[in-house]
Structure 1
């Protein structure tokens, strides 16, 4: 069971680190940039999202802050889903469901 938990934590950290790095270096794929603009997020909002993703990476790694990191991750995903639904972009909201 510990092996499975370790693998899931590693996947979470990898995905958040990848998103954080692309947001902080502004090297996002055109599809990601289009998705963010479709739900009403400007380029100026990408950097703070990158910082939050980086914080999630660090929080998930330590047992004392594991719950807080996952809670912050869930809030971020729900925020993206809510903004997508607010702009009637159902496809983007549905894409985020597996990550929740």
Structure 2
């Protein structure tokens, strides 16, 4: 029972983070944000694609049948961001992403709380 509650809470947090970070691409970016993305080698087109994928992954984790795929996509997006940060020597950014990478992995381990019905 506790695992279902923890999984449910992690799903809500992960959904919120995925949608809020993904929707940021549709807002006017700040100068610092553009500078960070440029330093990572991310163009506006790639930034938009990453945002759409982030929102898609967040929505996919809500449903038991697409839960695994959504978490894998979310983890892949985070690994890409971490890899780009390491490539440019931004170790602080890569280290900050580690807890966010652990979230989809923990969710995969815990499973969807409604996979066997409510």
* TM-score, normalised via structure 2 length: 0.76
Structure 2 CA distance for aligned equivalents of residues 91 and 97 of structure 1 = 10
Aligned-residue CA RMSD in angstroms? 1.4
Give unmatched runs, 5+ long, in structure 1. none
1:39/1:87 contact within 8 Å kept:
yes
Q: Are 2:86 and 1:85 aligned?
A: yes
Which runs of 5 or more residues in structure 2 are unaligned?
102-118
Higher relative contact order (CA 8 A, sep 6+): 2
Alpha-carbon distance in structure 1 between the residues aligned to 2:19 and 2:29: 13
Runs of 4+, deviation exceeding 4 Å: none
Q: Which residue of 2 aligns with 1:21?
A: 23
Q: How many residues align?
A: 99
Point out the structure with max Rg over C-alpha.
2
Greater helix content: 1
